[in-house]
Chains A and B, each alone.
Chain A
Amino acid sequence: MRDALRPEAPFPAAARTALADATLRANLRRATSTIRRRRDQVVGEVEDWDRLRAQAAAIKDHTLRHLDRYLAQLEAAVAERGGQVHWARDAAEARDVVADLVVGAGARRVLKVKSLTTEEIGLNDVLAERGVEAVESDLAELIVQLGGDRPSHIVVPAIHKNRFEIRDLFARAMGLPDLAPEPTALAEAARLYLRERFLAMTVGISGANFLVADTGAVAVVESEGNGRMCLTLPHTLITVAGIDKVVPTFEDLGVFLRLLARSATGERMNPYTTVFSGVVPGDGPQAFHLVLVDNGRTRALADPLGRTALRCIRCAACLNVCPVYERVGGHAYGSVYPGPIGAVLTPQLRPDDEHARTLPYASTLCGACADVCPVGIPIPRLLVHLRSVAVRADEASGRLGARLAPERLMLRALGRAFAQPRQFERLQALARVMRPLGGRQGRRLPGLGGWTRSRALPTAPRRSFRRWWREEHR
């Protein structure tokens, strides 16, 4: 089964394919500029925004440092309230646990509310193998599912499609040849398509935005009401969540609820948030299972800087401001987590993956992501850190090609030269000899194609600073 955290190609190759798609770039530009404008407006309303973000970061850092304690507390609180907690070390174990629960409940069809974690573990594929149909209820997930597509954004999975593409898809899949390409008409079509399915379903599967240790509460943030349908109407509910989703107290939840919607969709608050704990007699599902998933998160936790990426609350604000994401879209990252946060999460969740190691380079290091992050993840620092991790891993692999790569040899030689004045001056002399090569773009140097294809080689000055100094201060 395909691992949703392992890109099928290195980022530069995937990006080239994506850049060739003019419709995609137009769709992304329109959508990301809309959402950026809305976010800026509602974030600007909150006077103490920076204090709020610092608070959220501090809560997350504390939680992550004592994650074992909070997960145990969460487990006990859920059990006390009639729920059952399951644990999964990796994706395969997680999807088996969920599939066993679904089959055990006798369901042939399950209702799903948008969940990145279930995408991450490849749940729908294993359900299909076991004869269970998974019905995606989020409008964007429905668009993705009906189109046999993959999500390309954390919050708006079908951001890469415009209204005309969605109209054509719905017209075909729902048998509505006269459907108008208007968002209102398309939303209405989805409502009618899903309505009967909502009312008849016995098992629901959801993700979680937050888990609250002291109350066993699960928070699911959504807009359409499909989440409430899924969390309320079925008899059995299975929630799948990463171990990084926990916060200590119910009071802490208030801090994150104040940050999330403004950062994610540019609304003061999303239309619906469901917060429930265990099984409430006579109200909603009467059987509740919570599946806690590691799947690489503990590896990220081991890295003191890397673990800051686990603060992430999946708002996708960093995607919407990223000049790289805006041009290539989510699919180019090849992971269920795209954009800047994906570029720092994916290689940590899959450190052995060669393609994932190319993701930290998918950035100009402009820093816009860090400015908007509601939990203050230092994404640019992480990108640089993970580049060095990638280089070291490459070196440690012992491959001859890796050791003799021109870039590495050049940097090693530079390192030596910079340490000794004599060598340094010799290098400057060499640069002066090479002056005729400089100044123009498109002169590729052998073995340094990646560096010289899009950059002009700088022209060395006729006289170096050191020589000028010596001559002036004789």
Chain B
Amino acid sequence: MSVDAKGRSGKARDEVLARIRAALSAAAPVPPPPPLPPPPAPPDLLERFARRVADYRARVTRAAGEVEVARAIAACLGREGGGRYAVPPSLPSSWLKAPAGTEFVVDRGLGPSDLARLAGSVTGCALAVAETGTIVLDGGPGQGRRAMTLVPDHLVCVVFERQIVADMPQAAAALADAMRTGPRALTWISGPSATSDIELNRVEGVHGPRRLDVVLVAGGPEDAGGRGEGRAPQPPPPSGPD
């Protein structure tokens, strides 16, 4: 950036802040509101999450525990006819049992055009939100880069029961500490890509993955055991299974 541009921006900064102070000079202080008390937890987060995900026309495949994840992923891939799937380097290898006609490609910096030639991608998640059927990816282990879950047409995402929180405010609270430590990128996914731009008709599948498969696993990842049966993953396993 040139010296001139820096000087201009610096002057603009001072002036905008001065305008704000002048505009508010007569205003009394307004305290921040106390946080809302969390709503009572709905009785069954898992079922609510499953229903809400399905409402977006995403497919939900159940697994009774982590040992069943590989089988569930293979079933999702098989239904799509197989092909090459990107996986992050840190995805547990026990999840990956390629059925015939399927190959896993470890993403070590694949370019956008490379990704565009793949059939899909497989990933874990940071947490999930029951009220809205939302999955949050935070780039932690088991998840990989944002481009990997964006460019290929089919996304398979593994969600553990213990990663599910009740609503958006709980999700934000669970992610806040990690966000405060350094640069980070989150992707909140609620169903396949869609648009309502033409006469407000919802059409699934525009630029992001057109098909979303969610593998919903009872309990938690095995190495995250000992968290107890409490239903408040605060914070949740921020990095998913490893």
Contacts and interface: CB of A to CB of B under 8 A. Distances in A.
Given A248-B32, A269-B188, A271-B190, A68 B21 contact: yes
A228 interface: yes
Contacts of A82: 183
A298 B193 contact: no
A434 to B, nearest CB: 47
Interface residues of A, number: 108
Contact of B27 (A65, A183, A186, A292): A65
B187 interface: yes
B195 A254 contact: no
Contacts of A115: none
A31 B200 CA distance: 6
Interface string B1-33: 110010011001101110111111001011111
A190 B56 CA distance: 21
A87 B6 CA distance: 10
A183 B55 CA distance: 20
B20 A301 contact: yes
B17 A72 contact: yes
B145 interface: yes
B74 interface: no
B145 A282 contact: yes
A270 B190 contact: yes
A97 to B, nearest CB: 7
A186 B172 contact: no
Contacts of A223: 193-196, 206
Contact of B179 (A65, A215, A233, A270): A215
A113 to B, nearest CB: 10
A258 interface: yes
Interface in B181-201: 182-201
B63 to A, nearest CB: 24
A302 B18 CA distance: 12
A67 B29 CA distance: 11
A138 B197 CA distance: 9
A129 interface: no
B145 A298 contact: no
B132 interface: yes
B147 A249 contact: no
Interface stretch (A272-280, A378-386, A398-406): A272-280
B41 interface: no
Interface stretch (A12-20, A52-60, A389-397, A415-423): A52-60
Contacts of A27: 199
B12 A284 contact: no
B5 A224 contact: no
A276 B184 CA distance: 6
A87 B129 CA distance: 36
Contacts of A156: 196-197, 200
Nearest to B9: A86
B185 A283 contact: yes
Interface in A216-243: 217, 223-226, 228-229, 232-233, 243
B46 to A, nearest CB: 17
A304 B27 contact: yes
Contact of B146 (A62, A138, A283): A283
A298 B207 contact: no
Interface stretch (B162-170, B213-221, B224-232): B162-170
Contacts of A307: 23
Contact of B167 (A166, A258, A272): A258
B12 A277 contact: no
Nearest to B112: A199
A255 to B, nearest CB: 6
Nearest to B39: A48
Contacts of A34: 199-200
B116 interface: yes
Contacts of B79: none
Contacts of B24: 65, 67-68, 301-302
Given A198-B112, A251-B35, A81 B169 contact: no
Contact of B134 (A186, A269, A276, A298): A269
A163 interface: yes
B175 interface: yes
A224 B193 contact: yes
A271 B112 contact: no
Interface of A: 27, 30-31, 34-35, 38, 47-48, 51-52, 55, 58-59, 61-62, 64-68, 71-72, 75, 81-82, 84, 86-89, 93, 97, 100, 104, 137-140, 143, 156-159, 162-163, 166, 183-184, 186-188, 190-191, 194-195, 198-199, 212, 214-215, 217, 223-226, 228-229, 232-233, 243, 248-255, 257-258, 261, 265, 267-284, 292, 294, 298-299, 301-302, 304, 307
Given A47-B39, A93-B8, A269-B188, 17 more contacts: A59-B32, A100-B2, A137-B207, A140-B197, A183-B198, A188-B205, A195-B207, A228-B150, A232-B146, A250-B180, A258-B131, A268-B132, A272-B208, A274-B185, A275-B186, A277-B179, A284-B185
